[in-house]
Structure 1
Amino acid sequence: MERRSFLKASAALSCVATVTGCNTSSDDANVIPPTPPVSDETITWSACLVNCGSNCPVKVFSSDGIITRVEADNETTDEYGVNHQIRACARGRSLRQRTYAADRLKTPMKRVGKRGEGKFVPISWDEAASTIASELQRIANEYSNKSILKIYGTGAYYGFSSSSCFNRVLNLNGGFLNIYGNYSWAQQTEAAAATGFSSTSGSNLLALNDSDLFIGLGYNPSEMRQSGSGEGYDFLNALQKNNGLEVIMIDPRYTDSMAGKEDNWFPIRPGTDAALCEGIAYEMISSGWVDNHSKNFLDKFCVGYDKESLINLKAEFEISEDPEKKAYIPYINPNDNYKDYILGEGTFISTGPKTPSWAAKICGISETHIKSIATKLMNARAPFIVAGAGINRHANGEQAMRSCYMLSFLTGKVGQPGVSNGALPSQGSLSRSGMSGLSNPIKESISCFTFPDAIERGHEMTTRKDGIRGTADLDTPLGADTKAIFAINSNALINQHSDSNGIAKILEDETKCELIVVCDCWMTSSAKFADILLPDTSWLESNDLVNDSYASGIMGYLVAMKAAIKPLWECKSMYDMCALIAEKMGKLGEYTEGKDEAGWLTELYEKTRTNSNNANAIPPLPSTYEEAQAQGVFRAFDGKTVVALEDYINGTDTLNTPSGKIEIFSLELAQKGTDWEFDSTVKGNYITSIPMYQATWEGYEDSETSEDYPFQLVGYHTKGRTHSSYHNVPWLREAVEDAVWMNPADAYKQGLTQGSKALIWSQRGTIELPVRVTPRVAPGVLALGQGAWYTPDPSGRVGPSGHIIDIGGCINTLTRYQPSPLAKGNPQHTNRVQIASA
């Protein structure tokens, strides 16, 4: 089948989530209540609020207080671009199974065994609220409010509950330590900001209609963004519409975003994207093409391409009366320019030119192919480049992202129709009003990824060494160790954090963190480490008002959720459970402001209804929240083409960088690279002012680990989970295999066959999984879907790493805890491992 014919067929089927391999004798059959007669069903609207970025609406059928079935949105005529259907994927359609899962938390509980053993006894809500309130006050008085931390968590994107409710309680207690960053985009956020834009400010996918070349580096929307309104559907329709578009995909794994839709797939070694980009840049610069085609663009809109631009910038700052600009003068070194680095000239003679031959030896893509990509890029009229977020989750993620962005700038065409800036595509969205979390008196914040350091040595953490924000200067210590953790809708405490075995050991010691409160719906791996467990209501038991979230594609929408059933067992909404805690603290009135949950929803709906952005985007919302709940879904497709940096290039906008321009030489990174302190024993642990390939610990070139751990292991997002959410749904475990992908040549050498059980281990742990032998992964690379639940073997079997084998197959049993240089973010795709038959 020709690619375009395939695309037409795919577009027609793209919203249909097909689940295969399920059988009616699944273990969940004895957990889910029997289905009542269909004739008695009531229909309500809810949403799948998992962190895939879409918040898809779902239609819920119930009878006599029991959910009978869940369907995806099938309203409207479903013509793409004309308010089409927002069909949920297999995850959203399995919400009945998830709601009635065997591991639902049914009552408040307190721990009676060792942390992590999962031994609890039921307690009353009164005891739970009293214990939390008294412990909060004790820890704040005995240590400080900076000893209280609400860790990063995105297990549910409620409209107003998850963040605001617990924030209100903690702030009414005097505040808590803030966090910044996230586990998805930490390094690309910093890389993009240092360059001059947002990491999600790329041209939207409608702009692809004007493009003639698409280059996706680690870009996988068909698996990441499955929603019927989402980025994957937008991408598919854009490819179908632009029949002349050439598609090049660069990824260690052959993903479903390819699957016949690409013209070329180039399998790349993990963590080497910057080397590839530098080989391409060398061809563009050394050939004279940049001088002849894009030098004027680089001179006018960028700083740092060559020595002259930095000499001019320094002179400009020296005569400026702006003290902030003058402060950067000592950090401007004209010799540290991008052109000299790529050509191996000036101060970079010792590092050598970044030729395609040099790049090929590192990234695994041949010299011929690198030159071919460069030629296509130079010949393209309107190249559209996207660097996916997977690139940023490496030990060298900040500079890898900046190196990918450089390809767009070297063309000199950014700001023109059909061209992007390398960032993730812009999204459409409708807004909704939320409840305030109240003001936090604590101004300091840590990277969300560094909470283990805050437990172990928070009192000595500083900006210079640890990236602390909000302190008086670079060397003022945070001054407090973390003594209380609130994990709200968060499996990042254990499962999604690096080195699960290592963090488990820290949390097991009750003399370090003295209180752990977990609020969730299910007994996750992290929930087992709680001192107090609070059972939340599921989405199908909740009234709420949610928007389309951060990555739902070009369609914007709102969902007025209505509870299909009453809260099961003793579960409470976060609003109500936090009200109980606030009451025990003597702060109930300040917490509720005289409103119950229904009163807040009525108020927030009215603010949303009268919001001018929404009023202009969709037909007027009904006058009452109850009327909105009856309709359920409100949608608006924004058909406007968005071109990245168009306003800046056309002179109607400015950039938020010290120079006000696109910074190839980043002044902020030059400053931090000089002033911050880094552990020099960690390979690749430094900040450079210009985009630069960094060889790192456990990267492809790390000879210290390659002999004992010859394979690079990279994680990816599966269609059967969003991060760790939905792992406990048997339907999805049957439909989407949890197995480690391995190239046939590697499997043959290791004596592994299709479906055989294998042990995969690193210096930090061992997991046990079946093998999927497939040419869809690069040689020398293992690929594993992230998010499986950490489960040390109850029998105590020890693996080659010397740790108890994780039979759950959690990739973070293997990953290293090592915050990245700039963002202090997670580098969880940088791993060296070994594999052998179990």
Structure 2
Amino acid sequence: MTNHEKTSVSRRTFVKGSALAGLGAAAMGTASLFGCAPAAESTGELADTGEAVADTIVWTHCAVNCGSCCALQCHVQDGEIKYVESDNTGSAELGEPQLRACLRGRSIRRWLQSPDRLNKPLKRVGKRGEGKFEEISWEEALDTIASEMKRIRETYGDEAMTSHYSSGVCQGQVQANPVKRLLNLTGGFLNYYGSYSSAHISAAGTYTYGGGTYGSSFLTIQPGQLVVLFGDSPADTRMGGGGHTHDFAYIRETTDCRVITIDPRMTDTTCGQGGEWIPIRPGTDGALCAALAYEIINNGWADEEFLHTYCVGYDEETLPESAKGKNASYKDYILGTGPDATPKTPAWAAAITLIPEQRIIDLAREMHESDPVYIGQGYGPQRRANGEITARAIMVLPQLLGQIGKPGMNDGRREGCASVGLGMLPTGENPVTTNIPTFEWPNAILHGEELTALNAGVQGADKMSSSIKFIWNYAGNCLTNQHSDINLTHDILADESLVEFIVTSEVFMTDSAKYSDIIIPDLTSQEQISISSDGYSDNMIAVIFGAPVYEPKFERRGIYEVCADLAERLGVGDEFTEGKTREDWLREIYDEARTANAEKGMDMPTWDEGYAMGVWKMKPEPIVKLADFVEDPVANALPTPSGKIEIYSETLAGFEATWELAEDEVVTALPIYDPGFLGYEACTEEYPLQITGFHYKAHTHSSYANNEVIQTAAQHVAWVNPVDAEARGIKDGDTIRVFNDCGEIRIEAKVTPRVIPGNVSIPQGMWHDADMAGDRVDHGGCINTLTKYRPTPLAKANPQHSNIGQIAKA
């Protein structure tokens, strides 16, 4: 693999060898904090032998689920990373994109070489969740796992086995697929659909456009136009050069577009780059959309030619036959001529959203007058109890204005992303057809046999045949830390009569790993040969060819090799590997993508050429979503039942009539406004505040949250409005209690007007730290101590921003 590496002078050489070494060391305080390279060059340093000390530069990439995937150049010396640079290839002056890492990726030296890494297989010796383990050999670990896989499969059936949802290794073409391949070859497993990140908007896109989460590219935005973003902050969520924050910043600088962000929190997208912030009460975006629609329709601004040509359900004329004659159209709902007889006026919405009536009126006019207008949404508004209908409500706005299918326009979904189309390690066919929503897994443990298509969204079967008895958790912290209601989940997992065996493959002792019966130490993507595309961005498509930064240390092993050994024990060794190594599979995956893209006119390098380069990239054409459909809606019909955009969904009307729903759960044919369970209307005197989470630059979900150097740079604090703080005697920097019926956390308060009154915003992802045998108070600041476990009505997904609670000075 030497063709992937090159030699450079080390940072130590620069600092010691420079005539200004003392000043250089002092001036580089921030750079060295994140392991970054110095900007200057050096002539070298003589070691004790009289020879120059040199580094080996190894290309690799970040791999966590932030939405980006950025290139890293690791300077390695004597088997250790000395410092990390990112992508410096291409010319910024010529507009050539660079996959520059954010502070998380640049701090990876501290993460990979942490003294807290797992180094040997472990067996639980205490109660589940207690965190007591003893070291064992690989032979014992593999024998135990294989034996338990056989026993549980033979006792309970194939559906009792599952590979748990995870995103700790998101970028790369292997991920958890070796585990799924192994499970499929030995009988299959209970699979899941959806994700913790985007299940609601994905469902909304399915019943509106026939599928998909992403819309048009930021790069299509035109000079001077209006951009309206609901709960979308690329500067917070997709920070790296391989993500949308670069694309959006570039467009804002080059087009001078006007940006309005609608969010309970003033995000860095507004605070750092300008634009207008419209504060909104959490969970009420659907009410704002309804009032904007009222102004658009009532003032004659709706593009009825577009709506009649491309959409179903706008008015009586476009309703399906099954819904006609019932005042069931979207227009009836908005104007108050529908069943609820309530006009969705700006005054009506102002009382719900806390946005002034006149600002709503003005925003509707601004959206009408801007041609084009780009309307998009992030994942925040949809990750709520009413998230599915909220996401659909936002999608209606560009439909009403006819702002779809042309440059500068979006279809109301998240910003678009280009893709090189790399495949994945094949998992083979799963003999088990039953599929459950990923958020339903605790229910599938407690009473799996009772879960059906009508009460739990089971797909591929009318109902489950078994509860979950075996969990393989690969690179995931969703058993507890990233899942709702940690105290409840602790009780479920700690009961060994429920799940009988849990195996975790990890690099650290996460909170979730503590609930394992066997833990096996994994290698990170940077410690193995790997390839990855660039992630979610629209200004480039790229492939990063990653080499191991050093030889595997201690007894850590890659998941592919571990599963190959288990496959031998389970009698499917040849079928699992097909005689191929990890590198063989990666070469095959890459060559398949290269051949497919060559047919489209894309000139990708050979594997050997790309591996020598470290990173290959090109600029794609900007994405205009639904352009073909708008050009010819008959020849390019959408994959919806009608072939058109469905404002009114007959499929959802069927669900509304047949699904088993609680009184406060809503599945509707139209994207109406409903506050959802645990919305602002649920606040009480005891719990008067809403509590929402947000993604933060110091960690990606829980990845890197144990990297103290980043936490020093970007502290984990709860955002509290001065009005709420003053009423409770809380000052900036105070440690506060945040609590509700689910639990209690301790966290530092950030008193700031950048969050709307009545809402406390807490970054998600910090590691849970509580005495689970004692008071269970979490001192890590993990918001999922406070979130309710209750799947949403349609997607059966996580409503993790729908919480009420109280705060007090600790």
TM-score, normalization by structure 1: 0.89
CA separation in 2, counterparts of 1:615 and 1:79?
28
Match of 2:370 in 1: 380
CA offset at residue 554 of structure 1? 2.3
Paired residue secondary structure (1:42): strand
Match of 1:256 in 2: 268
Q: Report matched runs for 1:789-800 at 5 Å.
A: 789-793=767-771, 796=774, 798=775
Query: Match of 1:783, as an amino acid?
Result: S
CA contact (8 A) 1:211 1:382 kept: no
CA contact (8 A) 1:617 1:636 kept: no
**Are 1:273 and 2:280 counterparts?**
no
Q: Report matched runs for 1:247-646 at 5 Å.
A: 247-259=259-271, 261-290=273-302, 294-310=303-319, 313-314=320-321, 329=322, 334-349=326-341, 352-471=342-461, 476-549=462-535, 551-613=536-598, 616-618=601-603, 620-622=604-606, 624-625=607-608, 627-638=609-620, 640-646=621-627
Match of 1:322 in 2: none
CA offset at residue 794 of structure 1? 7.6
CA separation in 2, counterparts of 1:204 and 1:621?
26
Paired residue secondary structure (1:559): strand
**Are 1:751 and 2:729 counterparts?**
yes
Match of 1:57 in 2: 71
Paired residue secondary structure (2:192): strand
CA separation in 2, counterparts of 1:604 and 1:479?
35
CA separation in 2, counterparts of 1:812 and 1:609?
42
Q: Report matched runs for 1:45-194 at 5 Å.
A: 45-79=59-93, 81-82=95-96, 84-157=97-170, 159-194=172-207
CA separation in 2, counterparts of 1:740 and 1:434?
39
CA contact (8 A) 2:171 2:533 kept: no
CA separation in 2, counterparts of 1:741 and 1:614?
51
Match of 1:671 in 2: 654
CA separation in 2, counterparts of 1:499 and 1:391?
20
CA offset digits 1:565-602 (Å, max 9, x no partner): 01111000111111111111122111111122333334
CA separation in 2, counterparts of 1:20 and 1:657?
56
CA offset at residue 762 of structure 1? 1.3
C-alpha change, 1:260 and 1:573, in structure 2 (3 Å) is closer
Structure 1 range deviating more: 432-441 or 399-408: 432-441
Query: Match of 1:552, as an amino acid?
Result: S
Paired residue secondary structure (1:390): coil
CA offset at residue 379 of structure 1? 1.6
Query: Match of 2:591, as an amino acid?
Result: E
CA offset at residue 22 of structure 1? 9.5
C-alpha change, 1:109 and 1:694, in structure 2 (3 Å) is same
C-alpha change, 1:298 and 1:92, in structure 2 (3 Å) is same
CA separation in 2, counterparts of 1:289 and 1:609?
47
CA contact (8 A) 2:737 2:747 kept: yes
CA separation in 2, counterparts of 1:517 and 1:552?
34
2:219 to 198, 206, 209: 206
CA separation in 1, counterparts of 2:215 and 2:325?
30
CA contact (8 A) 1:246 1:262 kept: no
CA offset digits 1:804-834 (Å, max 9, x no partner): 2100111000000110111001110111010
CA separation in 1, counterparts of 2:94 and 2:699?
26
Match of 2:674 in 1: 694
CA separation in 2, counterparts of 1:206 and 1:512?
51
CA separation in 2, counterparts of 1:286 and 1:419?
23
CA offset at residue 697 of structure 1? 2.1
CA offset at residue 378 of structure 1? 1.7
Paired residue secondary structure (2:267): coil
CA contact (8 A) 2:436 2:459 kept: yes
C-alpha change, 1:346 and 1:20, in structure 2 (3 Å) is farther
Structure 1 range deviating more: 576-585 or 259-268: 259-268
Paired residue secondary structure (1:137): helix
CA separation in 2, counterparts of 1:19 and 1:556?
33
Paired residue secondary structure (1:392): coil
CA separation in 2, counterparts of 1:79 and 1:457?
60
CA separation in 2, counterparts of 1:828 and 1:137?
36
CA separation in 2, counterparts of 1:217 and 1:346?
27
C-alpha change, 1:693 and 1:25, in structure 2 (3 Å) is closer
CA offset at residue 644 of structure 1? 2.4
C-alpha change, 1:433 and 1:404, in structure 2 (3 Å) is closer
Paired residue secondary structure (1:167): helix
Residue segments in structure 2 that go unaligned for 5+ positions in a row: 1-26, 36-44
Structure 1 range deviating more: 38-47 or 234-243: 38-47
CA contact (8 A) 2:261 2:277 kept: yes
C-alpha change, 1:333 and 1:195, in structure 2 (3 Å) is farther
Q: Share of identical aligned residues, percent?
A: 40
Structure 1 range deviating more: 405-414 or 558-567: 405-414
CA contact (8 A) 1:211 1:418 kept: no
**Are 1:774 and 2:752 counterparts?**
yes
CA offset at residue 706 of structure 1? 2.2
C-alpha change, 1:152 and 1:20, in structure 2 (3 Å) is farther
CA contact (8 A) 1:147 1:484 kept: yes
Paired residue secondary structure (2:221): helix
Match of 1:654 in 2: 637
Paired residue secondary structure (1:722): coil
CA contact (8 A) 2:247 2:537 kept: no
CA offset at residue 371 of structure 1? 0.6
Name the Cα RMSD after superposition.
2.1
CA separation in 2, counterparts of 1:834 and 1:764?
12
C-alpha change, 1:43 and 1:724, in structure 2 (3 Å) is same
Match of 1:836 in 2: 808
CA offset at residue 553 of structure 1? 3.2
CA separation in 2, counterparts of 1:538 and 1:396?
37
CA contact (8 A) 1:332 1:667 kept: no
CA separation in 1, counterparts of 2:408 and 2:32?
46
TM-score, normalization by structure 2: 0.92
C-alpha change, 1:561 and 1:302, in structure 2 (3 Å) is same
Paired residue secondary structure (2:176): helix
Paired residue secondary structure (1:348): coil
CA offset digits 1:494-553 (Å, max 9, x no partner): 11111011101100000000011111111111111111101111222111121123x133
Matched positions, count: 769
C-alpha change, 1:36 and 1:481, in structure 2 (3 Å) is farther
CA separation in 1, counterparts of 2:564 and 2:273?
52
C-alpha change, 1:289 and 1:103, in structure 2 (3 Å) is same
CA offset at residue 197 of structure 1? 4.6
CA separation in 2, counterparts of 1:614 and 1:580?
38
